[in-house]
Structure 1
Amino acid sequence: MFRRSSASLLRTFSRQRTQFLTEDAVLATSSGSPTQRNDSLLSANNSDSGVLRWSDPRSYSTKTLQRRVLTSMRDVAQSPIEFEPMPPRRLVFMVTPEHFDVTYVINPHMDGKIGTVDKAKCIDQWHVAREEIKKVGVKVVEIPSKPGLPDMIYAANLGLPFPAKSGVEVYMSNMAVEERAKEVPHYAEACESVGYEVKYLPANIDFEGQGDALWHGTRRLIWAGYGFRTDLRVYDIISSAWKVPIVALKLHDPFFYHIDTALAILDNDTAVVYPKAFTDEGLSMIRTLIPRLIEVPESDAKGRLACNCFCPDGENVLIQAGSKETNRKLKEAGYNVIEVDVSEFLKGGGSICCMKMFSW
């Protein structure tokens, strides 16, 4: 049985030097172009300690800008790995279930599911899930569902919050599919009602919020997916605005169209992962940066969306009931497994993690 190490992910990789990008090597995010590196423009600073740290570029001359969006093992190997702490999150937004249904197909999980949702059962399942979330000490803010927006229930996809110095900021999503675009204004209104600063991205850049952008526990690091619903270019904008490193992973299996269907951060050292959802290089990046991985078998990953579990506190894991092999591994790892039946919502391609937006 293993458990989190006291060192956590706040650790450093010993190396000979730290490399920075010169300002001329970075393309402006306003142009919509992703950050690029020109190796001829790289400069090196010797480190007295031989320890790499993720430094805030604002503390350096404007002539040096740090590469923050990592898309390859080479990027990881050349980058400092010490992540600043963040306050823990203890609040979720959830959309009420009255209008949930499967009325179209926009992911493989929906195929053959049109008209099969048991409305009474899904409402009961939602209320049980909400109460289980409350029991582990998380506040629930409810957003009323809207007619004609059956997927609005998957609140995780609607935006990405961040605890800025002036208060919580949230980037609203630009949904990749037309069927979900009208959900976003309702979530923006809910965010403004609790005092969040709402921010918008360029309209031509797709982004589906926490579906494709996962905070690493209580560390200022984002695990990001791209390839199906989110445009890689968005991460340069977010990284620049919030001064946070982002590890961007290409998704290549349509069953795992959001990163949160294949990866769940349990605490600062541990994650649940379905390896086949990622490229070989992407999986190597995960294994390099996350000390402990709990691998999910295909039967649980596809059949029960077990990677779409929710661990709000590093101790309790809410997960689809019946994920036997994954639940066994979680218990052996020392986690308190809370099985929740949200099987009606699996028909739309999401489980307990998709059903909430985790925030501060």
Structure 2
Amino acid sequence: MAQVITSADQIDFTVDERPSMPLPTEVLMVRPLHFSVDYVINPHMADQVGKVDKIEANNEWELVRSLFDQVGMNIHVIEDQEGLPDMVFCANQSLPYIDEDGNEHVFMSIMHADERKDEVPYIEQWYRQNGYKIHFLDEDNISDFEGCGDAIWHTGKRLLWGGYGYRSSLEAYETISDTFDVPILALELVDESFYHLDTCFCVLDEDTALIYPEAFTNEGLEMINKMFDTVIQASKYEAEELFACNASCPDGRNVIIQQGCTDVNKNLRDNGFSVHEVSTYEFLKSGGSVFCMKMLLW
């Protein structure tokens, strides 16, 4: 039965009480051959149309890829497609899951912007070729859902965090919760610069999260603070300009993050994390960084 939670007083379990889920060991990435800023669908893209250095973008992407390799992840690469400049942000087109029997599932996204809708079939093809059970949302009743841009697994637990308000509909989480049989803690986003949950919320390990608090309602902050022992807060500058919260911590230890996040990185190290800085400046022009550029899989 679906369990979509929107306030702390509705939470009737602790993190420890949720069943364990394996940590991901695989990473899916999309090569940025056609990456550019050709249109404006978020505030970060304003004034950036035509300004991407494609050679530098490819160099940055290769370094992100190499860092995931260095921390022990197995990497799969999909070629991007002409006319789909944002396909490189492959956190957005799907939500994968591994059930308790080890079967692999995936919900395909309903992209909010028309410019990105044609990305989804290419990602779906990869899942089909790799034996995933494919699930779809009812497009007649659900307007949008942008995969792991808004839906983020709690490290090592069968518990999902779901952002809504700009790119994903709250109604989508009813279907996802019911299908996967997991509770979903739904967080309303209230700042258009933080249009995806992965721009303002990063689960680091079972007990620790990195957030930009001003992106959430008071109800959302109460849920976050109830479910994590430690909540690291990013400043407006590091969150909005450097996408600090769009970091990725695939193994609960190693954090790959945009370079220059001085205060956040100190807090990460003080809390026992290993920090790996990388330049994603070309991708920041399109409103994305490390987390957006990959999909974690099992």
TM-score by length of 2: 0.96
Is the 8 Å Cα contact of residues 188 and 216 (structure 2) preserved in structure 1?
Answer: yes
In 2, distance between residues paired with 1:208 and 1:158?
6
**Alignment-mate amino acid for residue 83 of structure 1:** R
Deviations 1:333-360 (A, max 9, x none): 1111000111100111110000001111
**Which residue of 233, 246, 263 maps to 2:184?**
246
Aligned counterpart, 1:155: 90
One-letter amino acid of the counterpart of residue 229, structure 1: R
* Shift, 1:192, TM fit: 1.2
| Distance in 1 separating the partners of 2:119 and 2:179 | 24
Match of 1:124 among 37, 59, 63: 59
1:173 aligns with 2:109: yes
Deviation at residue 332 of structure 1 after TM alignment: 1.1
C-alpha distance in structure 1 between counterparts of 2:102 and 2:29, whole Å:
24
Partner residue of 2:137 out of 186, 198, 201:
201
Residue 13 of structure 2: which of 64, 75, 80 is its match? 80
Return the match for 1:285 from 223, 232, 236.
223
- Kept in 1, the 8 Å contact 2:7–2:222? The answer is no
Cα displacement (A) at 1:286? 0.5
Gaps of 5+ in 1: 1-64
The DSSP-based 3-state class of the residue aligned with 1:339 is strand
Counterpart Cα distance in 2 of 1:73 and 1:353 = 26
Give how far 1:73 is off: 2.4
Shift of 1:75: 1.2
- Equivalent pair of 2:6/2:219 in contact (CA under 8 Å): no
- In the other structure, the counterpart of 2:77 is 142
- What are the Cα deviations for residues 147-190 of structure 1, in whole angstroms up to 9, with x where unaligned? 00000010000100010236210000000110000000000001
The reply to whether residue 346 of structure 1 matches residue 284 of structure 2 is yes
Residue aligned with 1:254, SS: coil
CA distance in 1, matches of 2:13, 2:271: 29
CA distance in 1, matches of 2:115, 2:4: 30
Q: Which one-letter code corresponds to 1:349 in the other structure?
A: G
Is the counterpart of residue 303 in structure 1 residue 241 in structure 2? Answer: yes
Which SS does the other structure have where 1:97 is aligned? coil
Distance in 2 of aligned mates of 1:218 and 1:112: 40
Residue aligned with 2:282, SS: helix
Helix, strand or coil at the partner of 1:195 = coil
**Which structure has the greater CA radius of gyration?**
1
SS at 2:292's partner residue? coil
Moved more, 160-169 or 128-137: 160-169
CA RMSD in angstroms, aligned pairs only: 1.0
What's 2:118 paired with?
182
Name the aligned partner's letter for residue 80 of structure 1: F
Partner AA of 2:78 in structure 1: I
Distance, in Å, in 1 between the alignment partners of 2:119 and 2:164 is: 21
**In 1, are the aligned partners of 2:34 and 2:81 still within 8 Å (CA)?**
yes
Give the 3-state SS of the residue equivalent to 1:98 in structure 2: coil
Secondary structure at 2:287's aligned position in 1? coil
Q: TM-score, normalised by structure 1?
A: 0.80
CA shift for structure 1 position 104: 0.2
**Secondary structure at the counterpart of residue 348 of structure 1:** coil
Aligned residue in 2 for 1:104:
39
Corresponding residue pairs, total: 293
SS of the residue corresponding to residue 92 of structure 2 reads helix
The letter for the 2-side match of 1:127 is E
Is the partner of 2:124 in helix, strand or coil? helix
The equivalent residue for 1:19 is none
Tell me if 1:322 matches 2:268.
no
Alpha-carbon distance in 2 for matches of 1:316, 1:166:
25
* Identity, % of aligned positions: 44
Cα distance in 2 for residues equivalent to 1:278 and 1:130: 31
SS of 1:219's equivalent in the other structure is coil
Cα distance in 2 for partners of 1:338, 1:330 equals 11
